[in-house]
Structures are given as structure tokens and as C-alpha cells.
Structure 1
Amino acid sequence: MSSSKVVKNDEDVRPFVLKTIKKSRQPVDRLAAIERDAYEKGFAAGEKAGFEFGRQKADAIFRSLAQIVEELEGFRERLLTETEKDVVRLSLAIARKVIDLELSVREDIVLNAVKTAIELTGKATTVVVRLNKDDMETIKKYVPELEQYSVEAKKIVLREDPSVSRGGCIVETENATIEHTIEGALREIEERLKDVHGKAEENPE
């Protein structure tokens, strides 16, 4: 004898179907809750990781910027130093041109240099004056005058010295050597220019 049930109409089907659906929604809802929880946790973890990554990127950018600023400051200092050197070199070159021009038309420049050096020899009785060969003939004419120039009469000995540039001299006594050269004057100008430049950097307007 068969146990099959004959379905007569839709009313017999509806309660069974509804009961089946209600029972099957429980695991679906639970799965959805698990998914939401996993999503929220994953989002929070991702947000935290993203923030940390962003912070690290920002730190790296700031470090790079700090390095760039430091390099720019170093470049500025090097530029100022090079500019200072160029200004000094240009000034000395101009001074040298002016001096050379003056030496070509004025013999009193070397004469005054020798007189100034002799004045510094004090009571020395013999003075050796080293000169450039181009100045020898000029100074020879003034030896008698130079021997009587200082308070103490002196014997002047002239010697040619290729290391001495035109317009200057080196005066020697038994106890001292006095340099009165164009190079020495230019070195003094150079030091003064550097000093002025240094003070300007310390007290910018």
C-alpha cells in the first residue's frame, strides 16, 4: 500500500514551504553577521595599516625635504664663498692693472717704496736694497739722496733680484728684512676685502 500523499490544492503546499524557508534563514542570517563582522574587522585593520603606511610615507617625505633644505643651505654657502673669491680675484686684477699702468709712467712709486723701507731700518749703517732689474737704473740715480734720507747716514747697496716685482723692494740689514713689494700690498688688500665681506655676512641689513 502506497504512503504517497495526494496534493489537492495550493493551500496544502503553502504551510510546508513557509516552514522550510523559516528554518533555512537562520544559517543565512548568521553567515551575513559573520561576514559583516569580518568586513568591519578587516576594514578597521586596513584603516590602521593604511594610516601607518601614510604616516611612514609622510615621515619619509619630511626627511627628504629636510635633506633638500640642508643641501640648499650648503649650496648657498658654497655660492657665497665662490662669489667672494670671484670678487676678491676681480678686485686684485683691477688693482694690478692700475699699478702696472702707474709704474709705466711714474718712477717715484719704486723710489717711495725704497724710502719707506729705509725709514724702518733704524740705526743700521749698511742697507742692501733688492730690486727688479727694471727699477735698478731708476734707483741708482737716487742712491746719494737715499744714503742721507734717514737720520742716520747709511751705505746703500743695490742688488738685482728677479723675485721682486717691479715697483717694490726688499731691504735687508744685519738684523732685519723689510719687504715693501706690490705683492705684499695686494695681499693686504685681499685680507681687507675678506674682512669686509665677513663683517657684512655677520651684520646683514
Structure 2
Amino acid sequence: MSLSNGEEGFKPMDLNSLEIFNKEIMHKNEETAPDLSRFKLLFEPPAFEEVEPYTFEAVYHETRKQEEIVFKPLIEPRKKKEKNPDKENDPLVPDTGAPKDQAVQEPEETPEEKGYRDGFEKGFKEGIAKGKSQGYEKGFQKGEAEGFQKGEAAGAIEGHKKGVEEGYKQGEAKGEEDVRQKAAGMLNTLKESLTMADQTIDLLVDKYEARIISLIQQIAKKAVMAHIKIDDSIVKQMILESLKALVNPEEIVLSISEEDYEYIEMIKDEFFDEVESLKSISVKSDPSVKKGGCRIETRTASISSDPESRLEAIFQAIQKAGI
């Protein structure tokens, strides 16, 4: 028997080579080195042949016509048997082994079976009722919790909105009321102050009336005299009013202050235009006459006038009238 196989790469062995190998082993001692070159592999790995790379081709090509595929049923239809007119209308009756004319009786239900059936039905109904009850409780609890959360969130939002609106309205009303009260307080304070001021003025007037009138007179005199010093036309007005107070004056002697002499000499011709009866005017300066005043003498009368005398007359008239 040989283990050689040319296709698989095995090396051939014969009996002579085995006997030689056996003798060498028998005469071999421990110090002899093994001849490793005599051992060869019984099997050498075959060399792989180079294979050309596989190229893929498209299953469908636009120039290739599609082949017609004919489908064939896997199961052939059964052939129709000849109909038997006698058995065509017969209903299917199970074969129970009893005669055909005898009716088949169902077996009676045992008490155990009946009790099982009744218990099953009752338990089934009670289980449905109990399941509904438990499911209702669980659903109610879950719905209550979710509804509470949603209601709490919605209530918080709505409550915040209403709280802001009501707070704004209350704050606005309170602000208006505060402003109104403060304004009323300020008005009351002002009214009291004005009332007190009026009372104070009345007291001051009653107490210092004479002094006040005297002060007013002094102020008026100073104001009039200051105006006379800067306005020469005042003396002209005083002379015309005095001439009109006389009855048809014809020849007059006009005495005036030294400050007004030059001014009256310059304008004395204007008096003839104002008084038609006037025929002659003799102007002279008199130290006793104050500035702005005059003294007129005719054959039958004389008249004197000055701003201070007129102011004094006005003050006396006011005192008599009780103003």
C-alpha cells in the first residue's frame, strides 16, 4: 500500500527504505546525532494557480430583449371526479358507529363539569367586574394626578395674570387716593396759611393804620416831586388849571419858582391860545413858590397851586371818606 498521491503532493515510500531505517535505529546509540535531512514532509502545500479576476455583467441590458418568463404552477389542479347524484345532496354526517336511523345522544354533563362551568362563568364575570373596578381606580388616580398637575399649572398662570391685573387696578386706585389725599392736605394747609395771612394783615392794618397812611403819603410825595424835577410840563399844566379856575382873567401876574422861570417865559404865548379872555401876562420869579407850583393875581382875585398842596388835599379827602 502506498500513501503517494501525485495530485496532493505526497512523497512515495517503499519497504526497503523502511527496513533500512529500522536497522539504523537498532544500531544507534544515544551519542549518535540524528540525520534530520532524511526526514521530509509527507505533504507539501499545493501551489495556488493564478485565477483571472471575475468580471460582473449587468443582468439587464437596454439592447437585450427581455425574455418571456412562463410561470408554471407548482401544484396541479385536481381532476374533477364524476358526481354521484345520490350523494350530492347528502349532508356530512360523522361516523359514530351507530346505526344511521338512531339519533346520536350527547353525553350527560357530570356534576363536577357543571360546577366547573358555573364557577368559570361566575369567576369570569366577577373577574371582569373586579378588573373594571381596579382599572377604574388606577385610571382615576392617574387622571386625578395629571389633572391636578395641569390644573395647578393652569391655575398658577391664570392666578398670576389675574393677580397682576387686580394688583395694578388696586395700586392705581390707591395711588389716586393717595395723591387726592396729599393734594387735599396741601390745599388745606395753603388755605389755613392764607387765612392766617389775612388775619395777620387785618391785625397789622388795625394796629399800624396811621403809620401806614403816613408812609404812603411820604412815598407819594417823593414820587411826585421826583417826577416834577424831570418833567417841566407839570408846571404848565398847573398854570392852565389855575387860569381855568378864574372868571375871565384878562391881565394877570404869574409868580413861579426860579427853576421854572425860563421855561414859562419861553412858552407863555401858548396860554393865550388856551384862554381866550387873557390879554396880558407878567411873569416873575418868587423864591417862596416851590418848583412845579404857581401863584396868579388879577385885579379882583388871586389863586395859588402846587403839587404838595394838592397831594395834601387828596390825603385829607381819603381820611374823611374812611378809605
* TM-score interval, smaller chain: 0.5 to 0.7
In the other structure, the counterpart of 2:299 is: 174
Note the residue ranges of structure 1 that are not aligned, 5 or more in a row: 1-78, 199-205
2:283 to 158, 163, 169: 158
- Judge conservation of contact 1:129–1:156 (CA < 8 Å) in 2: yes
1:118 aligns with 2:270: no
| 1:130-176 C-alpha deviation (Å, 9 max, x unpaired) | 11111111111111111332121321111212222111111111111
Note the residue ranges of structure 2 that are not aligned, 5 or more in a row: 1-203
Could you tell me the percent identity over the aligned residues?
24
- Judge conservation of contact 1:171–1:179 (CA < 8 Å) in 2: yes
- Judge conservation of contact 1:131–1:166 (CA < 8 Å) in 2: yes
What is the correspondence of 1:9-158 to structure 2 with a 5 Å cutoff?
A: 83-158=208-283
* SS of equivalent to 2:274: coil
Distance 1:183 1:104, change over 3 A: closer
With normalisation by structure 2, the TM-score equals 0.34
| 1:61-84 C-alpha deviation (Å, 9 max, x unpaired) | xxxxxxxxxxxxxxxxxx999844
* SS of equivalent to 2:284: strand
Which is higher, the Rg of structure 1 or of structure 2? 2
Distance 1:157 1:84, change over 3 A: farther
| Residue 94 of structure 1: how far off its partner (Å) | 1.1
Q: Could you tell me how far apart the structure 1 residues matched to 2:308 and 2:289 are?
A: 9
The one-letter code of the counterpart of 1:194 is: Q
Q: Please, which moves more after superposition, 129-138 or 153-162? A: 153-162
| 1:79-133 C-alpha deviation (Å, 9 max, x unpaired) | 9998443233212211111112211221110001111111222223111111111
* SS of equivalent to 2:295: strand
* SS of equivalent to 1:128: strand
In the other structure, the counterpart of 1:57 is: none
Q: Could you tell me how far apart the structure 1 residues matched to 2:254 and 2:302 are?
A: 10
Q: Tell me: higher relative CO, structure 1 or 2? Use CA pairs within 8 A at least 6 residues apart.
A: 1
Structure with higher helix content: 1
Alignment root-mean-square deviation, CA:
2.3
Distance 1:171 1:80, change over 3 A: same
* SS of equivalent to 2:311: helix
In the other structure, the counterpart of 2:119 is: none
Distance 1:85 1:128, change over 3 A: farther
Q: Could you tell me how far apart the structure 1 residues matched to 2:315 and 2:226 are?
A: 20
Q: Could you tell me how far apart the structure 2 residues matched to 1:87 and 1:177 are?
A: 36
